Amino acid sequence: MAIAKNPILSGFYPDPSLCAVGDDFYLVNSTFAYFPGIPIMHSRDLAHWEQIGNVMDRASQLPLQGCGHSEGLFAPTIRYHAGVFYVICTNVSGGGNFIVTASDPAGPWSEPCYLPEAAGIDPSLFFDEDGTCYYIGTHPNPKGCRYDGDWFIWIQELDLKTMRLVGEAKDVWNGAMRHVVWPEGPHLYKKDSYYYIVHAEGGTEFRHAAAVCRSRSIWGPYENNPCNPILTHRHLGKDYPVQCVGHGDLVETPAGEWYMSALAVRPLEGHTTLGRETFLARVVWEDGWPVVNPGIGRLTDTVETGLTDRKPVEPERMDMVYDFAGMERLGDAFLFLRNPDSDSYSLCAGEGLKLSYGGCELTRKASSVYVGLRQRHHHFRAETLLSLPPCSGQGEAGIALVQSNEYHLRLALIRDEAAQAVQINVYLCEQGIDRRIAGQTLSVQPNEDRVEIGLSLEVRGLTAAVKVSGGFGKVKVAEDVDIRSLSTETAGGFVGCTVGLYAAGGDHKDACVVFKNLTYSEINSEGSVE
Ligand code: 6LW
């Protein structure tokens, strides 16, 4: 039997939603300002997940220009009905709520069908037994918010032929607790002639919780589960290692067993750098209500899924080696900022990944030239070998750990042609202000064409160390850099860190830095590869 290890998706995989189609499970997450948007994962045992694509992989589907790091795509929902996959989501930076569809969940997905009449966020779809489709989402209390977070869950029928909301919209529920804040992430289900709404409340931070209500009619009145909330860690105190648990979605296996995906965070000393991650819990039904992890009542390190173990053919490796010189496409795991300018990136056989200079700094809310991977572990090392052109017009290139445009760490290389040297600087950007925290100037050989330098960024929890290597030998540039500010608690927002390669600035717009490879390895707290 398969045993799922929590988090089932570590790192920046927030707002999970999942659905079952026969023996197959599909899961999606929110991506905010990153492109492509909404990774889609597949599993046959709920334990091993493989990315099969990205739902929003064309700029035409996903306008993100100028959006804030935690704007763009909010919480998506995935559902399947009558041969069609549906993802419904909100682009808070352009267009609002929309639906995309696909016959193959790996894609291609359709252009978005916007629902301008649907206010608010966190949309979900429900297909009733007679095929009628309903939209469920959240919006501010239509009678006026009495306090911050005074929102309502509302339902309206969706005509699938016209993709328009039809009939009356009805506010059905505003949460389980008195003076509840942020009832959100609602999903509708039907079981044994009851309609159930599972939703989050309390805000996505420490007081996050999953709750449920039910009704015999989809339009209500909904009755509160007397055992609410069904999942939270807010009563466990701020030292508990897994916090902010909520945003649940239920799925039934072919054997009739139930599971819930939920988001949670794993802070270190009160600092969350990995963002909101995806967890799994078991669900049983008692007296017509779902009970999460019965006998335990909180998220566990492992979950027996009751399904045959289906390790992927290529088991997920925690050391990921990308040899760009031999790759034809970057692969689905890579993330860009907002809508990338494809002319600034090219994979050249035998050479590597070329990034153009001339783009804007990572501090800007713009489509900076950056390509990254999610930080999947508290302790990791990222290494790359790059080659700097003779003329980059003072442009910088290197490796960055990005929480947002306002909070990131950069190991930045500038080739100084006149001085026949390479300046190596470490910048910690906080509140959008760059601070140079370490630096060195290393000489290069006179008349050297391209200069090859290896970069290493090692993160152990809340500190980072950077090293460079090249013709000049190995140099430690900075150690024990305090990166606590690259956390949700300081930076705010909804994302986790990504680690990536970038190029910025410089007045030689035709110049490129070439990255030969990128290696991401999980390490232990002593620095050895796991
Ligand atoms: C999302 C809402 C939430 O739309 O945070 O945790 C928002 N819950 O449901 C952004 O992820």
Asked whether 204 lines ligand 1 (CB < 6 A), one says yes
CB of 197 within 8 A of CB of 188? Answer: yes
What single letter denotes the amino acid at residue 254? P
Q: Is 47 left (phi over 0), alpha (psi -120 to 50) or beta?
A: alpha
Mean residue pLDDT of the chain comes to 96
- Quick one: pLDDT at residue 394? 87
- What are 128-139's pLDDT values in tens digits? 999 999 999 999
Asked if pLDDT for residue 530 goes beyond 70, the answer is no
Mutating to test ligand 1, I would choose from 34, 121, 136 the residue with most ligand atoms within 8 A of its C-beta, which is 121
For residue 201 the two structure tokens come to 């409340």
The question of whether 184 is a catalytic residue gets the answer: yes
Q: How far does residue 357's CA lie from ligand 1's centre (Å)?
A: 35
What are the Cα distances from residue 223, in Å, to 34, 202, 211, 278?
A: 39, 19, 12, 28
* DSSP letter (8 states) at residue 530: -
Asked if pLDDT for residue 314 goes beyond 80, the answer is no
Q: Which atom of ligand 1 lies closest to the CA of 246?
A: 6
- What are 102-149's pLDDT values in tens digits? 999 999 999 999 999 999 999 999 999 999 999 999 999 999 999 999
- Quick one: pLDDT at residue 239? 96
Mutating to test ligand 1, I would choose from 67, 89, 93, 184 the residue with most ligand atoms within 8 A of its C-beta, which is 184
Banded model confidence at residue 311, pLDDT cuts 50, 70, 90? confident
State how far the Cα of 275 lies from the Cα of 366, in Å rounded to an integer: 21
- What are 8-54's pLDDT values in tens digits? 999 999 999 999 999 999 999 999 999 999 999 999 999 999 999 99
In this prediction the pTM is: 0.97
How confident is the model over 461-490, as a mean pLDDT? 96
Asked if pLDDT for residue 313 goes beyond 70, the answer is no
pLDDT over 90, % of the chain: 92
- Quick one: pLDDT at residue 390? 87
- Quick one: pLDDT at residue 317? 60
State how far the Cα of 304 lies from the Cα of 259, in Å rounded to an integer: 10
- Quick one: pLDDT at residue 331? 95
Q: How far does residue 263's CA lie from ligand 1's centre (Å)?
A: 10
Q: How far does residue 228's CA lie from ligand 1's centre (Å)?
A: 20
Per-residue exposure over 7-27, b if at least 16 CB sit within 10 Å of its own CB, e if not: bbbbbbbbbbbbbbeeeebbb
- What are 238-294's pLDDT values in tens digits? 999 999 999 999 999 999 999 999 999 999 999 999 999 999 999 999 999 999 999
Asked whether 15 lines ligand 1 (CB < 6 A), one says yes
Within 307-419, strands assigned E span: 319-323, 335-337, 345-348, 352-356, 369-374, 379-388, 396-402, 408-416
- What are 417-460's pLDDT values in tens digits? 888 899 999 999 999 999 999 999 999 887 778 899 999 999 99
Q: How far does residue 170's CA lie from ligand 1's centre (Å)?
A: 22
pLDDT over 70, % of the chain: 98
Report the Cα 154 to chain-centroid distance in Å. 26
What are the Cα distances from residue 185, in Å, to 19, 139, 260, 354, 370?
A: 15, 11, 13, 40, 31
Asked whether 247 lines ligand 1 (CB < 6 A), one says yes
Banded model confidence at residue 508, pLDDT cuts 50, 70, 90? confident
More confident residue, 393 or 294: 294
Residue 72's nearest CA partner among 90, 98, 99 is 90
Asked if pLDDT for residue 209 goes beyond 70, the answer is yes
Exactly one of 45, 71, 157, 184 is catalytic; name it. Answer: 184
Asked whether 13 lines ligand 1 (CB < 6 A), one says no
- Quick one: pLDDT at residue 315? 58
